[in-house]
Structure 1
Amino acid sequence: MNDIRQTQPTLLYVDDEELACKYFARTVGADYEVLLATSSDEAIAILEQENARIAVLVTDFRMPGRDGGDLLRQVALEYPHIVRILVTAYADVEMLLRTVNTGEVFRILEKPLKPAAVRDTLQLAFERYHERAMQNQRLIAIDETLAFIAHELNTPLAAIALNAHSIEDRTDAQRDAEGEILGAAKSMRESAQYCMAVVSSFWRSVHNGRRQPEGDEARIESTAHGLISALLDTYPFTTAQRSWVQVDVDSDFAVLAQPNCVALVLSSLLSNALRALAEVRSPSVRFTVTTEPHPSIGICDNGPGIPPEIKDRLLTDPITTHAKSGGNGLGLILCNRVMQSCGGGLRIESTPGGGTTVVLDFPHIKGQTHRSC
């Protein structure tokens, strides 16, 4: 009998009335293993020992000492994998709204408990628990796969960068009078370092994003300014390049769709801008963030600009002005597709000798709060 009970789904029921505890256990005991507690403190003591096998918490609200709302908040913080249900006989609207809106509770059961309602709610709760567990396993698998891919890519990239640096050090200036070997080695090293930074940054952003709380309402909000700041903190600038970059924020906004992919778009566009400024006397790159007339991020450089016949084809045809350094013309096309998948798009404004501005347009988000910096 004990072996059978160990395989049953487990829930914890909390009520200061012992008769209520016995009634609940008798109602659902045939389908679930029920652990009982008569106070919030006793429930926490049980959770400290048994949290790994407890899938659902059902707690009364009105109890002496710490009430059920306080218990729900602690469990949501310390054991977010547990699905939480509140039992109450009181029409406390403010309490109910607070617990629902903050994601502290999955369902609310009203006293006196009705066996059919209890069974239906528990079935939904355990389904939610299993969905979360499966999703978490998938995320762990994705995380481990990305870490493996990052390692497998960064290892040869690091070797390329190291070998290129060695070639730079050993190149004889007299034999390489036109600087072809030195230039090629430098380009190879910088490209390898950039690729390593992109791979590491993407894996880190996905990995850190996965570690957010698992409650239904929990979200980590990425903002346009936040994505730019993270990019500038991790981008492999040369000694001088970082001083070229400035950021102007008129009003910030949340990037809710594919922020990791948007971060890669920003990295690619920054790389293009820095490459265009290689021969400019006073180089400058300026990021602008605004919500008027619609949410957008602009990247403006004072480089040589783009000829009209090339600019008009950049988002449709694989055309590049950097073939010698490995460009294939697909970067801006892919960046535009990412933005389109987010409900926005990409615009390019440029004139020869007048610099280039690339604008990432984002869709309006109804009810979004704009924050000025």
Structure 2
Amino acid sequence: MVDVINKRPGVLFVDDEANALKVFRRAFERDFQVFTASSVDAGLKVLESEAQTISVVISDQRMPQRSGIAMLSEVRRLYPEKIRLLTTAYTQVDTLVDAINEGAVYSFISKPWDLNNLRKEILSAIESYSTACEQQSLLTGRIEELKQAVLDEKIMEIGNVAVNLSHYVDNALCPIELLISKIEDDLVQDSKTLTKSEDRATYLDFLKRIRVHIHSTSTQIARLHQANSPLVPDSFSRIDLVEVLQQAMTANQVLMNGKNIRIEHQIGPETCHIWGDRERLVDLFNFLLAEEVVSLPESSSASIDISQLPGQDAISITLEDRGPVPNQVAPSHLLYPFNVRSGDPRQMGVFLICAYLIVRSHGGSMHSSLREGGGVRFTFELPINQPDRSDIKLRSGIAN
């Protein structure tokens, strides 16, 4: 059964006269959700507990201890979106000037009340409140769109740099790889042309470390290129995300065991199928698992939840952990290169970027936030339905 009462706008009336509170309630409780208080402090407590319901605050000016202007000024500071009305039997100029100067009131109402006029004032105030809330909602939505656009642009710039540099880096690494191989061969063969025999083991170990570092850097950049490569509409099929996650868990088990990282996964009661590129979605979970392994200390745990969003044609993937986050780094900044949580800049932070690129190429979104008690929560939302072919081409690939 629909609760009609809770659909009515709420009005808070503050007056130290008990009779005035009774009259107000009897006059308007059929029209509005009426809340009353006999003092400023009591009124602020009511507003604190019913802030989601109350649209309009009406206060009498003449009250002991704190005046109506003081009340409404405090409401303006704490809840600037609430519409504020002042009732008074006194028309002193200084009272009106104070109220105007503090911006505390939407309108003045003289005592004794004309209930019809008071009802009109309240309805007008509610309409203003609704309009302001709608405009604020639109503004908030627009701000979120702009934030997403800015983030996309930042990631696109990062992707452009990484993808364009990868070609030149690979070209530069090839001769270095050949040179290191030659030096390794000479050292292993005990050649005296390069260095003294007692130093060869040290140099050999050093050169092997260089090779590992070069290979790791090249692989990281190649991952960005792979995650950013264009999607092919014909590659899309109906994918079971639970199966894909389990496949990735199996493939990365050795990696997780190396640091004793435990990843728990929970599945919602609904089927979790979407249309997507299977290979790319496998990579998505590979990148998320790799992100946890490089970011978390040894013997840590994390969780991945997959479920369908209620009432929406979308699947939510939530990754949570209690790993460290640098104080100066906001969750959204973890998408920027080298803002790595592990403290090792050699990790470069590309795993999360790659996951983001894959989700965005599938028409999805990503949100990040800090968890209470420490750690990070990453939420990815992916549409269920098969996308239009032109949409796939439009959002695939940052730099081609």
Q: TM-score range by the shorter chain?
A: 0.3 to 0.5
Where relative contact order (Cα < 8 A, 6+ residues apart) is larger, the structure is 2
TM-score, normalisation: structure 1: 0.43
Q: Give the structure with the larger helix fraction.
A: 2
Specify the structure having the higher radius of gyration (Cα).
2
